[in-house]
Chains A and B, each alone.
Chain A
């Protein structure tokens, strides 16, 4: 009887292993992996296979720590200010609170006075920004071609194409924005592909709004 029960534990461990591989949600994957390695430990303990008991034990500990980290990252988000909160709910709602915090912590918050020049036509903007408050005029040659307002990206065309700015950006009124240094952001996004995906999506959506 005991043999059958331990056999069930062994099969259960492998079945859970297979199930964990089909998971896309990391928390579920980790939880199933914990259940699998615990079942495996029971089975291998019965056969006195200490190598496997130890390996499964290490796996359990690693996954418990990872579950703890995931739960910590999923905790409710506290915003530093209203502008940050608005940015999360209006633009970066597809990011998890933890991912949003990471992205926003890699940015600086800047405020410029009316008339301030943010970048010039024909020169490489050194940053990507998103307007939090205020209005920025986009001037091509001598002609004002557009305005960037709240939640509009700034410098995104050069960020995508690596080419110099096609227009000059000048603050019409006192304007605040979140700003990322271009090269630092590129390095950051290579390490954070999920954030890169959401940022690309939102830049795309903003480009469509600007075109229309």
Chain B
């Protein structure tokens, strides 16, 4: 882990006054910055907060918005719950897998896209719904999928 990342952890921990109770918040913020947490990051957080590594790992592995596996440059989170499913979610699910050539839970070989299911994000009235990074898309249809994905191609956004 490079110097830059270590200082990231230090700054974050100091901002929370090295309070072990801010662990969930610290891990979530680190994950948001870098997409996922490496083993080195977990260890660095444990040292900075004076907590056992196992405890930090147990908290990191509990919450679904903290990822311990590398993710692509763009992460798609598609709602997999019943209200979205009922209004055409399955077709969009299949269209996403077809368009990216991967199954849910996987990352494309070129490292561009990770496709993940997510639990309800509270936009049920405009389902099916997905998030691409921090952008939200509702009223999805299979036809809209290629156009939305194209917006992120070539380093855009």
Question: Are A and B associated in one complex?
Answer: no
